[in-house]
Chain A
Amino acid sequence: MRDNANRSRISSVLLMSASLLAMILLTSITAAAQTQKGSDAKLPCVGCAVDGKTPRLPDEHPNLNGFWNTPPRADNPRQVDKAEDGSILFEFSINFDETIPDQLCIDDSCQVKNQPPYNAEYMPKVKALAESMYLGTSSQDPEMACKPNGLPRTGIGSVQIVQTPEIIAVLYESAPSSIYRVIYMDGRPVPDDLEGSYMGYSTGHWEGDTLVVDTVGFNDDTWLGAGGHGRSKYTSIHSDKMHVTERWTRQANTLTVETTVEDPGAFTRPWVLAPRRVQISKPGDYIREAICSQVNMSGNHMVKPTEKDKGQILNGSKANSIK
């Protein structure tokens, strides 16, 4: 069917590239594989586990410091091929987190899979938004106005974590702009005069080796995630009563975040997200600045889906973060 055709077409393009490669003798290969300059052997792996042991701080808590950024999966690569004449082939594949392997779920048949449990007041609005979408993309998505993605939509990819005894600061590279979150670890109470914000107000504490983070004080100007990115298409708005609970664990070089969303304004029960994971970044990698410009945003020329379009399924694959 369509997804099979897409899959086989993509793999035959890759196969074509691979067989070109096999036929042609490589001369020099640009050594930009996983670092900007130098080889992995020369640059230190910052924040990395040694001998597979999770690093710890002097207070014995797991050490989360570092830049976390997962390389692409082998079966859904993002590849850059460089040739000696300066030619560049950039294959920028989609990475979707999925409960549905290899395809987006866009029709009602799969929308039961981890759909946010909207209540009777919210569900009609969410359905109306879903009708306006094109394969999960909507011009009404606040991200189209470069608004911060907020929580829980901002995943755990491409983050710099700065951990002190009093706070844990999370610097996000691209959400869709560079943004930060401060998690207060000193037991302070949540202010009672919070104005709603995109990233909310976070407090955290350790339960053994698990960092438990509670975030409240959200505005309602974010989406839970544009529907269709491998989840139900009915995934969008929420209320400002949202409360996000995360449990962070580090195992060797993997950081895992398990997220539960409660929203007494919009939900009938808590919504549990699939765990998201990220690896400590490769040597030489570092956080970039990303400032979203609405002029350059996709969606400026979005059209409504036709009946033909609605039958399309985009290929995707399991990845590490829901975006």
Chain B
Amino acid sequence: MTNHKRYSVPIAIFALLAIALPAAAHHALTAEFDPTKNFTVTGVLTRVEWANPHIFVYVDVKKDDQVESYGFECGPPVALNRAGVKKADFKIGDTVTITAIAAKDGTKLLGRLNLIRYSDGHVFVYRDGSE
């Protein structure tokens, strides 16, 4: 049986609001990402691709003398936009800590976004019911 790791996400004050979101085609997260394996990196958020069907967030992470560029997949821009989440909410240039679900095919610089913690402490948490 697959052990799905429970995230203990330090969430601040959230009001549970039901938001009207479009029904989007969904494909099994677990076809690409392994919910039992997550990883965390810290680096500079350099770019956000606000493109369908998946937003991508890019982070430059220092490793020894190198800089590695990670890409993190998130949800559809239409869904996020309709929920009031904007491209500008992803703070380009900020130093962030990202927790993500690892790619099953071993691609190191790729993950499915779960949490971004910004330098001022606020977070963006993305969860998909298939985790």
Distance of A81 Cα from B125 Cα, bound (Å): 10
Give the shortest distance, in Å, between B69 (CB) and chain A (any CB): 15
Binary interface profile of B, 3-41, with partner A (CB < 8 Å = 1, else 0)? 010100101111111111111111111111000000000
Pairwise interchain contact B30-A92, C-beta atoms closer than 8 A: no
Binary interface profile of B, 99-123, with partner A (CB < 8 Å = 1, else 0)? 0000111010010000000101111
Given contacts A155-B23, A293-B52, contact A135 B125 (CB under 8 A): no
Pairwise interchain contact B78-A290, C-beta atoms closer than 8 A: yes
Asked whether B67 is an interface residue with its Cβ less than 8 Å from the other chain, the reply is: no
Distance of A36 Cα from B110 Cα, bound (Å): 32
Distance of A103 Cα from B80 Cα, bound (Å): 25
Q: For residue B130, which residues in chain A have a CB less than 8 angstroms away from its CB?
A: 94, 314-315
Pairwise interchain contact A88-B89, C-beta atoms closer than 8 A: yes
Number of A-B contacts (CB under 8 A): 242
Distance of A86 Cα from B28 Cα, bound (Å): 30
Q: For residue B18, which residues in chain A have a CB less than 8 angstroms away from its CB?
A: 33-34, 71-72, 74, 77-79
Distance of A226 Cα from B26 Cα, bound (Å): 10
Query: Which residues of chain A from 1 to 51 have any CB-CB distance to chain B below 8 Å in the complex?
Result: 2, 5-6, 9-10, 13, 17-18, 20-21, 24, 26-27, 29-30, 32-34, 36
Partner of B16, one of A17, A87, A135, A301: A17
Distance of A271 Cα from B17 Cα, bound (Å): 39
Asked whether B75 is an interface residue with its Cβ less than 8 Å from the other chain, the reply is: yes
Q: For residue A321, which residues in chain B have a CB less than 8 angstroms away from its CB?
A: 23
Partner of A10, one of B29, B103, B129: B129
**B interface bracket (residues with beta carbon within 8 Å of A):** 35 or more
The prevalent SS among residues of A at the interface is loop
Pairwise interchain contact A6-B4, C-beta atoms closer than 8 A: yes
Given contacts A30-B84, A174-B76, A298-B54, contact A81 B25 (CB under 8 A): no
Pairwise interchain contact A298-B22, C-beta atoms closer than 8 A: no
Distance of A309 Cα from B30 Cα, bound (Å): 9
Given contacts A2-B1, A92-B129, A94-B128, contact A29 B15 (CB under 8 A): yes
Q: Residue on B with the closest CB to A36? A: B84
Max chain A Cβ within 10 angstroms of own Cβ: one of B51, B52, B105, B107? B52
Give the shortest distance, in Å, between B130 (CB) and chain A (any CB): 5
Distance of A25 Cα from B39 Cα, bound (Å): 32
Q: Residue on B with the closest CB to A158? A: B22
Partner of A226, one of B22, B27, B122, B129: B27
Given contacts A2-B2, A90-B127, A312-B2, contact A301 B104 (CB under 8 A): yes
Q: For residue B27, which residues in chain A have a CB less than 8 angstroms away from its CB?
A: 136-137, 226, 298-299
Distance of A227 Cα from B25 Cα, bound (Å): 12
Q: Residue on A with the closest CB to B8? A: A16
Q: For residue A300, which residues in chain B have a CB less than 8 angstroms away from its CB?
A: 32
Q: Residue on A with the closest CB to B21? A: A78
Give the shortest distance, in Å, between B23 (CB) and chain A (any CB): 4
Q: For residue B84, which residues in chain A have a CB less than 8 angstroms away from its CB?
A: 30, 32, 36, 80, 82
Partner of B52, one of A21, A149, A290, A319: A290
Pairwise interchain contact B75-A85, C-beta atoms closer than 8 A: no
Binary interface profile of A, 288-323, with partner B (CB < 8 Å = 1, else 0)? 101111011111111101001100101100011101
Chain B residues near A (Cβ < 8 Å): 1-2, 4, 6, 9, 11-32, 49, 51-56, 73, 75-85, 89, 103-105, 107, 110, 118, 120-130
User: A78-B18, A296-B54 known; 9 other A-B pairs, CB under 8 Å?
Assistant: A20-B11, A30-B15, A32-B84, A80-B19, A90-B83, A94-B130, A157-B23, A301-B105, A303-B105
